[in-house]
Chain A
C-alpha cells in the first residue's frame, strides 16, 4: 500500500502563431519543433505504456491556442512539409557521414526519429494530435485540463471582470468542443492567481487549479498541510501547490538533471554547424541560419570541445535520474506521511516543452519514472488531483495568496519597463469590448456586425496573450511580440471604430478573419 502520491503535471502551451499570408514563417517553427520534439515523443511514451499495460496517471494542460494550432489544417500541412524536409536532410546526412561511424549512426537515429514523427502525425493520428490526448484521457491515464483562452495573465487584467470571465469561459467551451466534456481543472497561466477569479472559476465549473508554492503557503488561514494537501478556496475550488523539491531537481540550472554531460547538447545544431551551401535548402527563405533539429553532440562539460552524443549512455543516465527522482520522492513521502494524518500528495508541475525540446531525453525519463513507479516502488502511486479528492473529499478552507511562478514569485516579468506600455491599451480595449457587447446585445439581426463583434473579441483575446509581454522582457524576438501586440490592438481598435460608426469594411474583416481564425465559434456576448 502506498504511503503517498505523486501528481505529475505538464503544462503544454505555445502562443497562437499562424501566418497564412506567407509561404513560411520562422516563428511557426516554435510549434513544429514542439510537435517533433515534445508532443509526439510524449504521445509515443504514453502509447507504449498503455500497450505494455503500465498503469499511469498524468495531468496535462493543453491550452486553447495550442489546441487551435494542432487542429488547424494550414499548420498541419505545413508541419508535414517541415518534417519531410528533415527526413530528406537526415537521408543526406547518412550519406555525408558514411565514413564517420559515430555521426552516421546518429544520422540514422534522426532519420528514424523524423520518419516516426511523420508516421505518428500523418498516419496514426491523421494529422490531429489532439485526438491522441483525448484517447489517453478516455483511457483514464491522462487528465487533460484547460488554461485561460489565450494564456491571459489574470492579475494584470483584474480591473475588468468581464475580460477575465471571457478568458475563462471561451477556454472552457473550446475544451468541450475538442474533448466532448467540460474540463475539470484549469491551469492558471504562469500559475498567476488573482483572488477575483475564484468565483468566476466556480461559476464556470472549474474544480481545481495549480498554484506556485507560496500561493498556498501564504494562504489565510494558514494551511495545515502546506502544499502536501489541497486547500479549498472560499468559492469551493481546490488549489494545489507546487512542491519545490521536485521542481528543483528537474528545473534547476545548477542541480537539475537536464544539464548532465551525457545528455544532448541543445546549442549544437547542424543549422549552424554545417557548410552554408549544404544546409541552405533547409533554412528559411531569408537564408538565416537557424535550428534544424539535428544535433550531434552531448553537453560534454563547460567546454566548446563537444563530444559526439551517445544515445545509449544518455538513456542510461535518464534511467538513473528517474531512479534518483523517485528515491527522493519516496524519502519525502515517508517523512511526510509520518507527520500527517493523511497521505500526502506531491504536486510536480512542469512546462511540457522542457521535455524533449530542451531536455531531449525528458520523455524517456518520464517513461522510466512511470515504469519504475508501476513495477518497483510501493511507497508512491501516481494520482491526478481529482482522484486525490475522491480519497480525501474534505479539505481545509483557505484563501490563496496572490502569486505566480514567474521570476521573484509575482508579476514583475510581465510588468516592467520593457512591457508596461501595453496595459493601458489592453485595459482600454477590454473596456471597449464590454461596451460593444452591451451596446449591441442582439446577435442575429445584422450578420456583418455580428462577425465584426466576434472578430473584435478574438483580437482582444489574442492581444491579451501573456506571451507577448513575456517575450518583450526576454530580449529575444522582441520585435515580433511588439508587432503582434500592436497588430491585434490595431485591428481591435479599427473594428471598434467601424462598428461604432456603422462602417464595417467587409473585405478587410474577411481578411483578418482568415488570419486570426482562432475560436471560430466565439460569441462576443460573453463580454456582456
Chain B
C-alpha cells in the first residue's frame, strides 16, 4: 500500500517536472522566435487569429524600370512560375510620372453638388504670367475660379456667377462643393492679385451636375424602338397620368441613404470579409 502511495507521489513529481520543462521549452522557443522575427522579419504564421489579410502580389517585378534595358529581356521560358511568399519579397512599385508636360485643368462631376478638379501646370507658363504681373506677382494667389455657365457658350465673361477658391501648398486637385444640381460649370485656374486682377493659367472642360429631383418637364413623347432600329422614328401618343410616377418617387431619398444597392457588398468577393 505504502509502495503504491510512494509510486503515486513519484509519478506526480515526474509530471510536475515534465510540465515545468515544457513551460521552459515554450519560453525558450518564444524567445528564439522573437529573435528570429526581430532579425529576419518573418511573422508568426501559426497565429490562429482571424483578421484582415492584407496581402498582395509581388508580380511583375521583372517589368519595373531598371537601369539597363537589357534587364527587361526575359522570355516566357526563362520565367518559370515561382511560389509566392507574400509581402516579404514584394518589389517597390515604380511611381507614375509626376508630370506629363501638360498645362491644363480637368473638371469632373462627383455628384449633384460636388465637382473634382485636377491640374498640371507648366513652370514656364506660370513664370510668364507672373512676369506680366510685375510688382504684383509676389502678392498674387493661385485660385480656382468656378463659373456657373448653365445654358451659355462660355467665353470667359458671360458666366451667370462665379466664386474663387484659393489653392495653396502645391496641391494639384480639389473637391469643389457647388451644391447646385442640374447646372453647368467651368473652372479656370489662375493668379489673382490683391487689386482683383485675374490672370488665366488654364481653363477646364465644362461639366453638368446631375438633376437631384424629378424633372419639371412633363411633356410626353412616345417612340417605338423597333421602328427606330428599322431607321424610322415614330413618336406618337400623349398622356398625362402621373399617379404611378408620383407613387414610385416617394422615398427615393430613402433608397439613397440606405444604399440598398450595396454592390460593394458582394463584388470583388473577399474584399469585405472580416
Chain A residues packing against B (C-beta within 8 Å): 13-15, 19-27, 29-30, 33-34, 155-156, 159, 190-191, 207, 212-214, 217-228, 232, 236-238, 242, 244, 247-248, 251-253, 266-267, 272, 276, 284-291, 336, 339-341, 351, 353-354, 357-358, 389, 393-397, 401-403, 405-413, 415, 420-421, 423-425, 427-428, 467, 470-471, 474, 476-480, 482-483, 486-487, 489-491, 493-494, 505, 507-508, 510-512, 514-515
Contact = CB atoms under 8 A, between A and B. Distances in A.
A222 B54 contact: no
A236 B214 contact: no
A357 B271 CA distance: 13
B274 interface: yes
B26 to A, nearest CB: 16
A288 B248 contact: no
A480 B225 contact: no
5 contacts: A26-B57, A232-B228, A244-B252, A252-B260, A477-B268
A415 B91 CA distance: 27
Contact of B225 (A24, A236, A353, A493): A236
A221 B220 contact: yes
A237 B62 CA distance: 46
Interface string B252-274: 10011011111111111111111
Contacts of B110: 410-412, 415
A251 B266 CA distance: 10
A510 B120 CA distance: 34
B93 A394 contact: no
A476 B271 CA distance: 6
Interface string B140-173: 0000000000000000000000000000000011
B5 interface: no
A214 B256 contact: yes
Given A24-B83, A276-B46, A420-B118, 13 more contacts: A15-B268, A30-B268, A236-B233, A267-B273, A289-B53, A389-B226, A394-B223, A405-B263, A423-B106, A424-B106, A470-B267, A478-B54, A515-B59
Nearest to A272: B50
Interface string B50-74: 1011111101101111000100111
A337 B274 CA distance: 44
Contact of B237 (A30, A394, A411): A394
A511 B84 contact: no
Given A224-B239, A405-B263, A515-B60, A21 B218 contact: no
Q: Chain B: interface residue count, which band?
A: 35 or more
A432 to B, nearest CB: 9
B252 A214 contact: yes
B205 to A, nearest CB: 6
A34 B266 CA distance: 11
Interface stretch (B94-102, B128-136, B193-201): B94-102
Contact of A207 (B59, B225, B256): B225
Contacts of A341: 241
State the majority secondary structure of interface residues on B.
loop
Given A26-B55, A226-B245, A33 B270 contact: yes
B1 interface: no
Contacts of B270: 29-30, 33, 291, 477
B106 A223 contact: no
B225 A395 contact: yes
A337 to B, nearest CB: 10
A470 B55 CA distance: 17
B268 A510 contact: no
A213 B252 contact: yes
Contacts of B86: 285-286, 288
Contacts of A411: 109-111
B261 A474 contact: no
A117 B73 CA distance: 41
A483 to B, nearest CB: 6
Contacts of B256: 214, 408-409
A130 to B, nearest CB: 19
A415 B108 contact: yes
B21 to A, nearest CB: 22
Nearest to B262: A251
B205 A21 contact: no
A470 B81 contact: no
Contacts of B72: 505, 507-508
Nearest to B75: A507
Chain A CB count within 10 A is highest, among B237, B239, B256, for B256
Contacts of B65: 490, 494
Given A244-B260, A477-B271, A490-B96, A353 B215 contact: no
Given A236-B233, A408-B111, A490-B94, A413 B264 contact: yes
Contacts of A474: 264, 268, 271-272
A396 B240 CA distance: 12
A354 B266 contact: yes
B118 to A, nearest CB: 5
B248 A505 contact: no
Nearest to B112: A410
A412 B111 contact: yes
A487 B60 contact: yes
B269 A22 contact: no
B62 A511 contact: yes
Contacts of B215: 218-222
A471 B268 contact: yes
